[in-house]
C-alpha cells in the first residue's frame, strides 16, 4: 500500500528510514538527515530537503554518493547484484536486451566516461516524463555528457540522482503527476508541427504564419474547446484566445498566456508552457463544474521571437495597441511581405487595431515560463518567482586602429583594434558581475578582412547590457562607455558606437509577485525571487496592467533556444498547482472585496 505524508511525518526515524530505504542508492545518510526536518508539507518539500542535505554535505560526500551508483548495463547488472530499484529501472529501460553492438558501445562510453570523470555515468532512466527513455536516447545522452567540463558533470550527476530519488518517492507514495503528464504529452504533440527544412531533420521551428504555425493555432484552439473554454477564437494577428467565463458576467478577467512561435531549432517549452499550464487549470475547473468570481482569458501569442520578420512581440504588442502598419511592408527571406502572409492566412489586417485591451476589464496579467537559465537547477528548486524583467540596451560598435605587419611591428608600437575590444570584454565581465544581477555580453566580435599575419586594424563588436532596473543598467552602460573611452585613448584608437535597441525594465507588480510567492510557499517550497534576463510577453502587457511571472526549472542546466530544452512532468505538475493556488487566492480576495479591486 502507498505511504502517506502524514504517516511519514508521524513515524519514528527508524520506521521512516525503513519505509524509504534505497531512495538514494546505498546512501541512507541522505534520508536520515532530511528526516530531522519533518514535518513535511508536501512531497515537493521532502524532495527539496533531501537535495539540500546533499548540497550541504560537500564535494567528498557527494562523490561518495555518485560512486555508490552502479554502471549502466555493467557487471552488477549482469551478475544480478544490483539493488532492487536499480535492477527494475535498468530492466525497464531495456538495458538487459542490449544487442552486442549496443553493449560494446556502452562499455566504450563507460570506459571513456570513468577515465574522464572518475565516477560512473548516472542517468534517471525513466526520463523527464517518468515513462522511460529509449536505449537510443540513453546512448545519445551518454555521448553528449562526455563533453561536459568535470564540475558541470559532477552537478549533472547529482541532479540525475535527485531525479531518480524523485521517481522512487512517487512510487512509494503512489503519487502521479497527472496534470504534469498531460502537459508533457501536449508539448510533444504540439512539437509535431515544424517548418519545412527543419521538420525533416527532427528540429522544431515554428515561425510566424507558416503552415506549421497555423497548424499549431488550430490545434491549440481545438484543445481549448475540449478543455471547456466558453469562447475560443483566432484573432487578427493569429493569437489564439480562449475565455472561461466568471460566475458573474460583469466581472473582470485574469489575463494570462505566452507565445507559441519558436526560434529556429528551438525547444518545445519556451512560451508554450505558459499557454498549456493555464489551459490544464481551466480544464480542471470545468471538470469540477467550478466558476470563479473572475474570468480567465488565456492568449496563445502568435509571435514573440522575431524570426520571420523584424517584429518581435507582434502577438502581445497587438493587445497594447502597438502594431505599426508600416511593418506590413516588411519582407521575409523569400520576399513575402507581412501583409500578404497575413492575407494568405485569412487574417484581417483592418481588425488589428481592435485587439487593444481595455485594462479596466482585467485584474492583471500573469505568465508562466520555462526559466531558460541555470539558476533554479543549481538551487534544486522547481519554481522561481520573477521580480523584474530586465531592461536591456544594445549597441553596435567599431574600433579603428592601424593594420600593420604582424612580424615587424613591435608589441609596444601597435594600434590593435581587436585587443581593445578584448580588453573591453574583460571589463564588461568584471563590471557586470559587480552588480550581482546585471549581465553584459560582447556576443559579436569580428575583424573585417582580418589575416593571420596582420595586426587587426578594425574590429566590429556588439554590446548587450541588461539589469533589473533601468537606472542600474544605465550606470553599467556609463561605466562601460567610460572604460571604452580610456582604452581607446591609451591605445591610440578611434571608435564609433550606435544604440540599436533600448527596452525599459518591467518590474513585476509587488502585489502580484506576492501572490506567486504565496502560491509557491503553499506547495511547501522555499520562495526564490529572481530577475528575468530574457524578454517576455509580460513586458508588453506591463505597459497597460500589473504583471508578474513564474519560472519553471529547465533540465540540462536550464538550456534554452536549443533542442535540449526540457523540463519534467513533476516540475510542470508543480507549475499547474501553483497556478491553481494563484486562482484560489484571487477568488478568496474577490470574495472578501466584492467590488473586485485587485491591485
The residue ranges that bind Zn ion (CB under 5 A) are 270-271
Residue-by-residue DSSP string for 13-73: HHHHHHHTTTSSTT-HHHHHHHHTTPPPSSHHHHHHHHHHHHHHHHHHHHHHHHHTSPPTT
State the nearest-atom distance from the C-beta of 315 to Zn ion, in Å.
11
Nearer Cβ to Zn ion, position 271 or 531? 271
CB atoms < 10 A from the CB of 114, how many? 13
Nearer Cβ to Zn ion, position 25 or 371? 371
Nearer Cβ to Zn ion, position 16 or 386? 386
Nearer Cβ to Zn ion, position 271 or 468? 271
Q: Are 288 and 583 in contact (CB under 8 A)?
A: no
State the nearest-atom distance from the C-beta of 259 to Zn ion, in Å.
6
Report the C-alpha gap between 263 and 204 in whole angstroms.
8
State the nearest-atom distance from the C-beta of 560 to Zn ion, in Å.
8
Return the DSSP state at 201. G
Nearer Cβ to Zn ion, position 48 or 193? 193
Nearest to residue 168, comparing CAs of 67, 57, 27?
Answer: 27
State the nearest-atom distance from the C-beta of 372 to Zn ion, in Å.
7
Print the SS3 string covering 159-216. Answer: HHHHHHHHHHHHHHHCCCCHHHHHHHHHHHHHCCCCCCCCHHHCCCCCCCCCHHHHHH
**Residue count of the chain:** 599
State the nearest-atom distance from the C-beta of 573 to Zn ion, in Å.
21
Q: Are 389 and 494 in contact (CB under 8 A)?
A: no
Nearer Cβ to Zn ion, position 162 or 272? 272
Gyration radius of the chain over CA positions: 27
State the nearest-atom distance from the C-beta of 234 to Zn ion, in Å.
20
State the nearest-atom distance from the C-beta of 352 to Zn ion, in Å.
22
Nearer Cβ to Zn ion, position 376 or 417? 376
Nearest to residue 569, comparing CAs of 186, 253, 300, 200?
Answer: 186
Contacts (Cβ under 8 Å, ≥6 apart) of 514? none
Nearer Cβ to Zn ion, position 130 or 392? 392
Nearer Cβ to Zn ion, position 259 or 283? 259
Nearer Cβ to Zn ion, position 271 or 533? 271
Nearest to residue 518, comparing CAs of 576, 581, 571, 591?
Answer: 581
Nearest to residue 171, comparing CAs of 83, 95, 89?
Answer: 89
State the nearest-atom distance from the C-beta of 93 to Zn ion, in Å.
32
Sign (positive or negative) of CA dihedral 418, 420, 425, 429: positive
Report the C-alpha gap between 454 and 239 in whole angstroms.
53
Report the C-alpha gap between 302 and 352 in whole angstroms.
13
State the nearest-atom distance from the C-beta of 269 to Zn ion, in Å.
9
The x, y and z cell numbers of residue 571, run together, are 516540475
The x, y and z cell numbers of residue 562, run together, are 536549443
Nearer Cβ to Zn ion, position 20 or 389? 389
Alpha-carbon distances of 193 from 141, 207, 236, rounded to whole Å: 24, 11, 21
State the nearest-atom distance from the C-beta of 272 to Zn ion, in Å.
9
- The answer, yes or no, to whether the previous bond of 39 is cis (omega within 30 of 0) is yes
Nearer Cβ to Zn ion, position 271 or 315? 271
State the nearest-atom distance from the C-beta of 536 to Zn ion, in Å.
6
Nearer Cβ to Zn ion, position 275 or 345? 275
Q: Are 301 and 235 in contact (CB under 8 A)?
A: no
The x, y and z cell numbers of residue 270, run together, are 519556451
The x, y and z cell numbers of residue 191, run together, are 512539437
State the nearest-atom distance from the C-beta of 554 to Zn ion, in Å.
12
State the nearest-atom distance from the C-beta of 25 to Zn ion, in Å.
37
Contacts (Cβ under 8 Å, ≥6 apart) of 68? 24, 25, 26, 27
Number of alpha carbons in the 13 Å side-chain half-sphere of residue 366: 26
529-532 and 383-389 beta bridge pairing: parallel
258 φ/ψ angles, rounded to the nearest 5 degrees: -160, -170
Amino acid at each position: 500500500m502507498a505511504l502517506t505524508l502524514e504517516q511519514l511525518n508521524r513515524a519514528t526515524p527508524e520506521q521512516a528510514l525503513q519505509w524509504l530505504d534505497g531512495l538514494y542508492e546505498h546512501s541512507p545518510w541522505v534520508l536520515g538527515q532530511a528526516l530531522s526536518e519533518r514535518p513535511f508539507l508536501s512531497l515537493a518539500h521532502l524532495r527539496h530537503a533531501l537535495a539540500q542535505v546533499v548540497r550541504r554535505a560537500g564535494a567528498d560526500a557527494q562523490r561518495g554518493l555518485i560512486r555508490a551508483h552502479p554502471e549502466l548495463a555493467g557487471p552488477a547488472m549482469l551478475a544480478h547484484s544490483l539493488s532492487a530499484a536499480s535492477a527494475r529501472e535498468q530492466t525497464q529501460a531495456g538495458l538487459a536486451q542490449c544487442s552486442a553492438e549496443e553493449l560494446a558501445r556502452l562499455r566504450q562510453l563507460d570506459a571513456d566516461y570513468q577515465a574522464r570523470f572518475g565516477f560512473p555515468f548516472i542517468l534517471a532512466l525513466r526520463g523527464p516524463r517518468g515513462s522511460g527513455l529509449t536505449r537510443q536516447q540513453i546512448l545519445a545522452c551518454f555521448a553528449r555528457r562526455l563533453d561536459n567540463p568535470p564540475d558541470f558533470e559532477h552537478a549533472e550527476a547529482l541532479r540525475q540522482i535527485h531525479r531518480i530519488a524523485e521517481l522512487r518517492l512517487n512510487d512509494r507514495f503512489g503519487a502521479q503527476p497527472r496534470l504534469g503528464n498531460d502537459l508533457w504529452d501536449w508539448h510533444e504533440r504540439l512539437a509535431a508541427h515544424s517548418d519545412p527544412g527543419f521538420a525533416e531533420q527532427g528540429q522544431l521551428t515554428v515561425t510566424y504564419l507558416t503552415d506549421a504555425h497555423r497548424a499549431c493555432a488550430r490545434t491549440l484552439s481545438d484543445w481549448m474547446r475540449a478543455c471547456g473554454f466558453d469562447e475560443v477564437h483566432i484573432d487578427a494577428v493569429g493569437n489564439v484566445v480562449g475565455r472561461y467565463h466568471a460566475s458573474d458576467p460583469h466581472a473582470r478577467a485574469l489575463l494570462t498566456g505566452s507565445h507559441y512561435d519558436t526560434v529556429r531549432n528551438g525547444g518545445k517549452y519556451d512560451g508554450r508552457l505558459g499557454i498549456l499550464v493555464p489551459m490544464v487549470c481551466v480544464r480542471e475547473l470545468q471538470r469540477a463544474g467550478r466558476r470563479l468570481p473572475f474570468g480567465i482569458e488565456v492568449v496563445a501569442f502568435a509571435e514573440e521571437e522575431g524570426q520571420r520578420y523584424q517584429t518581435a512581440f507582434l502577438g502581445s504588442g497587438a493587445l497594447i495597441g502597438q502594431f505599426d502598419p508600416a511593418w506590413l511592408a516588411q519582407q521575409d527571406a523569400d520576399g513575402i511581405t507581412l501583409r500578404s502572409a497575413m492575407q494568405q492566412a485569412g487574417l484581417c489586417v483592418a481588425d488589428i487595431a481592435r485587439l487593444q485591451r481595455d485594462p479596466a476589464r482585467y485584474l492583471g496579467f500573469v505568465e508562466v515560463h520555462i526559466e531558460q537559465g541555470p539558476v533554479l537547477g543549481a538551487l534544486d528548486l522547481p519554481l522561481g518567482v520573477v521580480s523584474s524583467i530586465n531592461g536591456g540596451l544594445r549597441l553596435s560598435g567599431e574600433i579603428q586602429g592601424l593594420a600593420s605587419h604582424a612580424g615587424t611591428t613591435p608589441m609596444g608600437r601597435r594600434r590593435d583594434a581587436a585587443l581593445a575590444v578584448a580588453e573591453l570584454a574583460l571589463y564588461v565581465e568584471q563590471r557586470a558581475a559587480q552588480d550581482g544581477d546585471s549581465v553584459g555580453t560582447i556576443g559579436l566580435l569580428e575583424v573585417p578582412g582580418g589575416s593571420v599575419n596582420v595586426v587587426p586594424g578594425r574590429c566590429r563588436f556588439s554590446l548587450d547590457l541588461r539589469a533589473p532596473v533601468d537606472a542600474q543598467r544605465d550606470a553599467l552602460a556609463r561605466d562601460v562607455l567610460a572604460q571604452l573611452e580610456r582604452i581607446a585613448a591609451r591605445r591610440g584608437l578611434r571608435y564609433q558606437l550606435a544604440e540599436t535597441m533600448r527596452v525599459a525594465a518591467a518590474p513585476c507588480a509587488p502585489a502580484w509577485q506576492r501572490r506567486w510567492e504565496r502560491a509557491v510557499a503553499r506547495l511547501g517550497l522555499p520562495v526564490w525571487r529572481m530577475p528575468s534576463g530574457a524578454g517576455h510577453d509580460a513586458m508588453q502587457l506591463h505597459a497597460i496592467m500589473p504583471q508578474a511571472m513564474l519560472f519553471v526549472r529547465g533540465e540540462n542546466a536550464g538550456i534554452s533556444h536549443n533542442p535540449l530544452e526540457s523540463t519534467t512532468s513533476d516540475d510542470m505538475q508543480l507549475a499547474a498547482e501553483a497556478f491553481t493556488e494563484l486562482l484560489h487566492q484571487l477568488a478568496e480576495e474577490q470574495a472578501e472585496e466584492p467590488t473586485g479591486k485587485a491591485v
